[in-house]
Amino acid sequence: MELPRGTVYLALAMLALAATVNCSCLCLNNKHVVNCTSISSTCRCTSFGSNVTVDCGTLSSKCLLMKAEIYRKNSGRSIRPQHAIRDNDGIYDPECDDNGNFKAKQCNGTDTCWCVNSAGVRRTDKGGKDIKCDEVVRTSWISMEMKHSGTENDLDKPSLESEIREQLSQRYKLNKNHITATYEKPFVFIELRQNATEKSATDVDIVDVAYYFEKDIKGDPLIVGPRLTLDSSTGPLQSNDVIIYYIDDKAPEFTMQHLNPGIIAVIVIIILAIVAGILVLVFTRRKKGKYEKAEVKEMNEMHRELNS
């Protein structure tokens, strides 16, 4: 027998409440917190694995969320659902500043370090602890791509795009002016754009929105309560993966060391093909030159025989 939807949501909320430690309020926008206290009708909690206080009335920073996930994995308390897709995007134990933002240099507790953008994504080659990272370059544009399944019917493109913008705005509290949605069957493309001048102190950051969205799509939501459903005219879109691209205010600083073996192999093959082509051309011209010299020699001998 299927339980009423309201009963399921209540059960989820009670489980989240039971999982917190010494909490007098429920943090609806971050389930990875402890020691929650209600101050002036605002729930404030300590992010798991750090001493940073978060405001539960808005999204928590991606840096704190990653740190909480790593901390709980290392302590043996997994927060990943059994059937969720494994996150292979290079998660690490980040260094966060007092505001919960990524520090410019990250080392993952090792002697190997690198520079990151405001999304915590590596934007330089890896180096030693002496690597210099002068600033946290802001990520002002995030492009997300996902492929849906479960419907063969053509969807109402304008209606779906509008619905996606509305749902993302309501769930993550991001102004719709920063959201663009484009549907090209069977793909949904979502772009988040937010310049530093467009973000006030109380606005959510598109970096955090993208992380929350990725967790929702992969079946590991950070928000307590109803899950995200991207509705269409034929029902909710079914998707369990999303590809995210980060575009910074400044170009990344990768060198050839950053190229993966596949790309390097392609470059080597192209170079070898060019060299082989040059060698074939040289040998062909030499052979042609020898043939022309032999032909001239034979013609001269024929002329001498005729004149004799």
Q: How far is CA 42 from the centre of its chain?
A: 31
Mean pLDDT, rounded, for 184-189: 87
The band of 134, judged by pLDDT with boundaries at 50, 70 and 90, is very high
Residue 192: the pLDDT is 95
Residue 221 has pLDDT above 90, yes or no: yes
Q: Which tens digits make up the pLDDT trace of 39-50?
A: 888 999 999 888
Percent of the chain's residues with pLDDT above 70: 75
Residue spans of the domains in the chain: they are 5-258
Count other C-beta atoms under 10 Å from residue 288's C-beta.
Answer: 10
Q: Following DSSP, what letter does each residue of 105-169 receive, concatenated?
A: EE-TTSS-BEEBBTTS-B-B--B-TT------B-EEEEEEEEE-BS--SPP-HHHHHHHHHHHHH
State the pTM of this model. Answer: 0.70
Residue 300: the pLDDT is 67
The band of 24, judged by pLDDT with boundaries at 50, 70 and 90, is confident
Q: Please choose, from the candidates 179, 204, 176, the residue with its C-alpha nearest in 3D space to the C-alpha of residue 192.
A: 179
Mean pLDDT, rounded, for 113-134: 93
3-state secondary structure of 297: helix
Q: Which tens digits make up the pLDDT trace of 150-160?
A: 666 677 888 88
Q: Which strand (E) or helix (H) includes residue 34?
A: strand 33-39
